[in-house]
Amino acid sequence: MKKDKSLDRFDKLRNGKGLNKTSELRLSMQKTMQKKCAVFRTEKTLREGVNEIKKPYEGMDSVLVKDRSLIFNTDLMETLEFDNLIRQAITTMESAYYRKKSRGAHAREDFPKRDDENFLKHTLSWHNGKEVKIKYRKVNLSTLTNDVQTFPPKERIY
């Protein structure tokens, strides 16, 4: 019989008997994201953030879920939500650290200009155990039809 990874993850969290409260891990994640991965970022703050965000991420290994029921279990729901949030947070932090440019909501004070030559690409990520693997894919700037006009990328000026 094939194991279902989703159910294994669910059961592991539901039966968590560790020492870490989800609310404390979440607060740690929120503070780290607000201080180290805000709109205006630098290599220094992002590097610190990459290191700091690992603590609540690794804290999931020893999470405590007191309520084991399957009905109206807000403790489990909060833990499942946090598990998803922390994965997104660590991915955001890691990918922001490696992008040495500014664009849109990603503003690097140490790299204030766009860099389409090196960073006109999509960031792809995988969680492999506790490591986040970052790769890139080229942006497709063409459309699938001639009925839609294409627009070349350019700097936003307000």
pLDDT recorded at residue 104: 80
Task: For residue 138, give both structure tokens.
Answer: 């080229």
Q: Give the pTM.
A: 0.86
Give Cα separations from 56 to 6, 11, 31, 73 (angstroms).
21, 20, 11, 22
The average pLDDT across 42-71 equals 96
Report residue 34's pLDDT band, with 50, 70 and 90 as the boundaries. Answer: very high
pLDDT at residue 1, as a whole number:
63
For residue 145, which amino acid is it?
T
The total number of residues written for the chain in this structure: 158
pLDDT the model gives residue 37: 96
What does the pLDDT look like over 63-75, one tens digit per residue? 999 999 999 999 9
pLDDT higher for 54 or 1? 54
What domains sit in the chain, N to C, each tagged with a CATH number?
5-111 (1.20.58.100)
Token pair in block for residue 71: 């009905």
Span 77-106, pLDDT tens digits: 999 999 999 999 999 999 999 999 998 888
pLDDT digits (tens, 9 = 90+) for 139-153: 998 888 889 888 888
